[in-house]
Amino acid sequence: MIRKQKIAEFSKRPVYQYTLANKNGMELAILNYGGTIRELLFQDKTGKKENRILSYKDIALYEENPMFFGAIIGRVAGRIKNGTFVLAGKEYQVEKNEGNQHLHGGNKGFHHRFWLVEAAQESTLDRLVLHLQDQSQDGYPGDLQVCVTYTLSEDNMWRIHYQVETDQPTLCNMTNHTYFNLSGMKNSDILQHALQIQADQVACVDEKTLPTGNYLATKSDEVFNFTKPRTIGRYGMHGHKQQELVQGGYDHAFLLSKKQQDDIILFEKNSGIKVRVKTTEEAVVLYTCNKVTQAYPLEYGNLKPYTGLTLETQAMPDRIHSDRPELVVITKDKPYDSSTSYAFSLEEETKERNGGFK
């Protein structure tokens, strides 16, 4: 079932919320502004149905969306060093909207755009298809036809499918910026969430959160080793130089090994909620809400460090300046096609053993 309601106006344009719901009571609420996921309602093991993602209390905050809550990010997720890149021998300059860097597509990125929405209900799932025409702007070459499809199945799987066509070579590396807190967010943080990331390497960053080109081997560094499930805060948030560079915690890209069926698993024992994540992308950026400068009012309480976490599936950050820039270059003959799925379930309470949840 798909419901539609007008909930606000931004710049004198209507903001609609589309709610997808399945027979189990799981609901996904999406705005036509930014393609933003505003609510993800799921019952815990006691039957309590709550929002499992961070959400602003005041809908007006979504117009600026300073924390990128739930938004579609593009054209390029993450940072581009110095806001410059070279493509086919030509140098391009894009907006510098975070110091000297370009972040998350700039101030006219996909998170600040109105999307054309088509809703479709099928026997086994609800489907919401969002379209955007993005003309060459802010220094990026190429006109884009962007399509993002959200589906919610009857077996509690939320899936995002990104498709982008271009009329000339350009950059594209998209993600979704939803912050999870499976406990329901009431007076809680995510430090006791159990997390597993199937990744042998994590990219080191500098003080500007730009990749240095160096990697840590996760299995030889306990702070960054999530190859077996463990609580996020098990080794603290300030005990590692890489954590200090991002103001305590994690804001790092893990290079997925693709050795298991699930790339990522997130679990919260009090609610019993488990999320299994699978993606076509090469990496996931884990961000633990470290860099909080303002206590924005949320649906429950105020924003503070570690209130939520993101699992931003994407190509490695600043790939255009890496050894494999072709991974974020699209052309007429090589369009962008990416998908990520989140399978929600309830699990029996588990006990921590040998650094992992079994």
Taking the C-alpha atoms of residue 259 and residue 326, their distance in angstroms, rounded to an integer, is 23
Give the pLDDT band of residue 123 (cuts 50, 70, 90).
confident
| Per-residue pLDDT reduced to its tens digit, 241-268 | 999 999 999 999 999 999 888 999 999 9
The confidence score (pLDDT) of residue 277 equals 98
The confidence score (pLDDT) of residue 176 equals 98
Taking the C-alpha atoms of residue 196 and residue 220, their distance in angstroms, rounded to an integer, is 16
| Per-residue pLDDT reduced to its tens digit, 163-197 | 999 999 999 999 999 999 999 866 689 999 999 99
The confidence score (pLDDT) of residue 23 equals 95
| Per-residue pLDDT reduced to its tens digit, 306-320 | 999 999 999 999 999
Structural domains of the chain, ranges and CATH numbers in brackets: 2-357 (2.70.98.10)
The confidence score (pLDDT) of residue 65 equals 97
Q: Are 336 and 164 in contact (CB under 8 A)?
A: yes
Q: Is the pLDDT confidence value at 135 over 90?
A: no
Q: Which two tokens stand for residue 58?
A: 């005041």
Which residues in 5-33 are b (16+ Cβ under 10 Å) and which e? eeebebeeeebebbbbbbeeebbbbbbbb
| Per-residue pLDDT reduced to its tens digit, 27-72 | 999 999 999 999 999 999 999 999 999 999 999 999 999 999 999 9
Is the whole-model pTM more than 0.75?
Answer: yes
The confidence score (pLDDT) of residue 182 equals 96
| Per-residue pLDDT reduced to its tens digit, 199-230 | 999 999 999 999 999 999 999 999 999 999 99
Taking the C-alpha atoms of residue 163 and residue 211, their distance in angstroms, rounded to an integer, is 26
Q: Are 136 and 142 in contact (CB under 8 A)?
A: yes
| Per-residue pLDDT reduced to its tens digit, 317-342 | 999 999 999 999 999 999 999 999 99
Taking the C-alpha atoms of residue 168 and residue 95, their distance in angstroms, rounded to an integer, is 20
Q: What share of the chain is helix, strand, coil (3-state, %, to 5)?
A: 10, 45, 45
Helix H or strand E segment including 163:
strand 157-166
